[in-house]
Structure 1
Amino acid sequence: MCRNIHQLHNFEPPATAEEIHAAALQYVRKVAGAARPSQANQAAFDQAVAAVAAATTALLAELVTTAAPKNREEEAAKARARAERRYAS
């Protein structure tokens, strides 16, 4: 749906509250179709971000996996390599 929302599950260390909030904000922006809401919609926008962040936190707490945790630096390096291949001229 949105390339700026990244996987948050199964990382060591676990996703931070800031990462969860950023993902929730991106999701709500995408659904609302606006990067910034009007003053009339700000409260609803903020409430939606908080609700999505809470749901994401609950989901991450409940998910179970047998896979080894991923390393953030290794995953970032893989993403950079994919981007270099994709955008190479």
Structure 2
Amino acid sequence: MSCTPGDSDPKIMCRNIKRLHNFEPPATEEEIRASALQYVRKVSGMRKPSKANAEAFEQAVEAIYAITKELVLDQLETNSPPRDREVEAEQARARGRQRAAREG
């Protein structure tokens, strides 16, 4: 199963939260929010919270989003050149194909 920070399907629970720092172009607010959602899904064990937990779940997503945005976009510095999103995506697809070939 493929998963990217922009996936919005509530049935998808990714195994990994993707790196957002030091990319060209920089991470979008949508990508940061999707990663925050994935983090809260992962730590809570819920893909979609019940009505009783919906408000707390959404508050957690918003808190993680805010702190991630501040860290990723406003505070981190690096001397490394930005990573190219397309190159990274192709490398991830190649690793997926290799994994599938080993398993299949």
CA distance in 2, matches of 1:20, 1:44: 19
Unmatched runs of 5 consecutive residues or more in structure 1 = none
4+ residue segments displaced more than 2 Å? none
Is 2:16 the counterpart of 1:28? no
CA offsets 1:25-75 (integer angstroms, 9 cap, x no match): 010011111111111111100000000000100111200100000010000
AA at the equivalent of 2:85? R
Relative contact order, higher structure (CA 8 A, sep 6+): 1
Unmatched runs of 5 consecutive residues or more in structure 2 = 1-13
Give the alignment's TM-score, normalised by structure 2: 0.81
Out of 56, 75, 79, which is 2:88 matched to? 75
Q: Please, what is the CA RMSD of the aligned residues?
A: 1.0
Taking only the aligned residue pairs, the percentage that are identical comes to 59
Give the alignment's TM-score, normalised by structure 1: 0.94
Written as runs of structure 1 = structure 2, the 5 A alignment for 1:1-89 is: 3-60=15-72, 61-88=74-101, 89=104
- 1:87 deviation in Å? 1.1
- 1:4 deviation in Å? 3.8
Higher helix share: 1
> Which SS does the other structure have where 1:41 is aligned?
helix
- 1:9 deviation in Å? 0.4
